[in-house]
Copies of this chain bind each other. A is one copy, B any other.
Amino acid sequence: MPSAVLLLNAPDRAGIVAEVAAFVAAHGGNIIHADQHRDESAGRFRQRIEFDLEGFGLAREAIEPAFAPIAEKYAMHASVHFSDAVPRIAIMASREPHCLVDLLDRVAVGDLVADVRAVIANVPDHEAISGFHGVPYHYLPVTAETRDEQEAQVLEVLDREQVDLVVLARYMRILSEEFVERYRRRIINIHHSFLPAFPGARPYHRAYDRGVKLIGVTAHYVTADLDEGPIIEQDVARVSHRESVHDLVRKGRDLEKVVLARALRFHLEHRTIICGRKTVVFA
């Protein structure tokens, strides 16, 4: 049963909730889920409303125009999404396959609903598994000198496939500011530390050296500031002195897979609103 999702972000004012609910009700909409957040410190109001399209009195393309006066009145940023519009994504990977393979499996069994248009990697290793899942594989090697050309090739693939979202599944190269700007708010990365601890390179090694008792991972939107983007999801696992760096890396892989998948689901189901340095997640 298809549904519509309304994502709203506005200055906080009394009456918004009532007016939005009245809009849905006036057109015969049945609200399935609604979640809202009044951010007192920022003076903002955010809301996610999901309602059945069956029996709704407006055609899909008429919803946004019909809602526009309310959005304008409250100076809202508003967007409308449909549950049966499958987002088009690209997955970028480097040598380590676990996150890539996990995402392909999840899409295959219907655990994540996405149309994987491309796998892009700077190594040739993952062509077979991508092929097994019927996803075109783009091996685009890169060095410090050739980054600009390689990014141009990547962008060509993304643009051609009209990709809605880029997932960095342990892609270990830093993207240029221009690239990030071009796919602003549409790139999700998994970083293998509990940010803001251990940003940058080799976080498991540094976690080992520091003697932390828990390791963590962080899924976040990518911004020009490395590892500073709005956090979508994090999780941790307990470690002890018995465990070597190698053990931390292995344990971390399970965290990375699960946390990236959770973050991706939140995005694909239109449950996230980026608010400055933070992400509101209507989980």
Q: A residues bordering B, Cβ < 8 Å?
A: 14-15, 17-19, 21-22, 24-26, 28-41, 97-98, 101-102, 105, 109, 111, 128-129, 132, 194-198, 209-214, 216, 230-236, 238, 240-242, 244-245, 250, 253-254, 258, 261, 277-281, 283
Are B231 and A212 neighbours in the complex by a CB distance under 8 Å? yes
Copies of the protein in its oligomer: 4
Closest to A198 in B: B196
- Assembly CA distance A105 to B231 (angstroms): 28
- Assembly CA distance A42 to B278 (angstroms): 36
- 6 residue pairs of the A-B complex, CB under 8 angstroms, read A111-B253, A210-B231, A212-B231, A213-B234, A236-B236, A254-B258
- CB contacts (< 8 Å) of A211 on chain B: these are 230-231, 277-279
Are B14 and A28 neighbours in the complex by a CB distance under 8 Å? yes
Are B17 and A25 neighbours in the complex by a CB distance under 8 Å? yes
- CB contacts (< 8 Å) of A277 on chain B: these are 209-211
- CB contacts (< 8 Å) of A41 on chain B: these are 244-245
- Assembly CA distance A258 to B34 (angstroms): 30
Are A21 and B29 neighbours in the complex by a CB distance under 8 Å? no
Residue picked from A97, A101, A244, most chain B C-beta under 10 Å: A101
Taking A18-B18, A18-B22, A254-B261 as known contacts, 12 extra A-B pairs with beta carbons closer than 8 A to each other, sorted by chain A number, are A17-B24, A18-B26, A21-B22, A31-B38, A33-B242, A97-B109, A101-B105, A105-B105, A128-B132, A213-B232, A213-B233, A213-B281
- CB contacts (< 8 Å) of A240 on chain B: these are 281, 283
Shortest A210–chain B CB gap in Å is: 6
Q: Known contacts A17-B31, A34-B17; is A214 also within 8 Å of B241 by CB?
A: no
- CB contacts (< 8 Å) of A283 on chain B: these are 240
- Assembly CA distance A213 to B40 (angstroms): 18
Are B34 and A25 neighbours in the complex by a CB distance under 8 Å? no
- CB contacts (< 8 Å) of A36 on chain B: these are 31, 34
Closest to A31 in B: B17
- Assembly CA distance A32 to B17 (angstroms): 11
- CB contacts (< 8 Å) of A15 on chain B: these are 25
